[in-house]
Amino acid sequence: MTTLHPMPDGVVLVAIDIAKSRNEVLIEVPGAKRRRRMTILNTREEHDRLIALLLDLGRPVACAFEATGNYHRPIAWRLREAGFDVRLVSSVALARTREALHNGWDKNDPKDAQVILHMLRIGASLAYHDPLAAGINDVQELSKTHEAISSAKTQVLHPDPLPAALFSRGRALSPKQPQRLVLRLPGPLSDTGQHRGLEQGGLRRSRIDRGGTQGLQGPPARRHL
């Protein structure tokens, strides 16, 4: 459960919805009637523009965002180096709060920024610890490398069914095509007789699927007296 850390009065609240190429930013200044919305590209010039805007306000600033892959790390580092309070919003808590506030599952970047701002205001956020600043960047990279290797090992040892991501682009494949692709790619069965047996079994099943039962006779049918 996320521990509540209420924001003190007079703090500028900044909600950032992180994406690969651009970020949706929602700024709430105490005493202002309207919030300011802006789009920031993931470039150094755009980050400088956002930081300069927040520094010109002359107030303490608290920023919150949802971790999105590695895309949040550059802007989080810049905001922290600028002296702002950087907070992290849980992905699960964000999804549940969005569903409760908007009574639906649909989502978009501006809506997520509003939900992040609400969670920052009520204090439903976590302290963000930058890996470089905390000195754990090497450990984190090793952990990610171990995860990638473990995932690749699982795919090699259990190649059927193949990940759907391989076929996300291009035409749809028939049920027999993933099996044929596995037989052509090198794998743990390539240098053993199991690969040859698997290939023969696949061809045998393919003939059955096409209706070719010639030479493949089952047990004799039982006669009814």
Q: What is the pLDDT of residue 68?
A: 85
pLDDT of 26-35, one tens digit each?
Answer: 999 998 889 9
Contact 36, 29 (CB under 8 A): yes
Structure pTM?
0.61
Return the SS3 of 15.
Answer: strand
What is the signed CA dihedral for 106, 107, 110, 116, rounded to 10 degrees? 120
Domains by residue range for the chain, with CATH = 12-134 (3.30.420.40), 149-209 (no CATH)
One-letter amino acid at 108 equals N
Percent of the chain with pLDDT over 90: 29
Q: What is the pLDDT of residues 120-172, one digit of tens each?
A: 988 888 888 888 888 888 888 888 888 888 888 887 777 655 555 454 444 54
Instruction: Please tell me whether the peptide bond between 161 and the residue prior to it is cis, using omega within 30 degrees of 0.
Output: yes
Residue 25 pLDDT greater than 70, yes or no: yes
**pLDDT, tens digit (0-9, with 9 covering 90-100), for 90-100:** 888 888 888 88
Q: Is the pLDDT of residue 78 over 70?
A: yes
Given this model, what pLDDT does residue 183 score?
Answer: 59
Going along 114-162, which residue ranges are E strands? 126-127
Q: Which helix (H) or strand (E) holds 36?
A: strand 36-41
190 has pLDDT over 60? no
Neighbour-count burial of 10, counting CB atoms closer than 10 A to its CB (0-12 exposed, 13-18 middle, 19+ buried): exposed
Reading the block at residue 218, the tokens are 């089952």
Pick the more confident residue, 118 or 216: 118
Name which of 26-40, 64-78, 181-195, 208-222 the model is least confident about: 208-222
Among 49-53, 159-163, 178-182, 187-191, the range of highest mean pLDDT: 49-53
Mean pLDDT calculated for residue range 198-207: 48
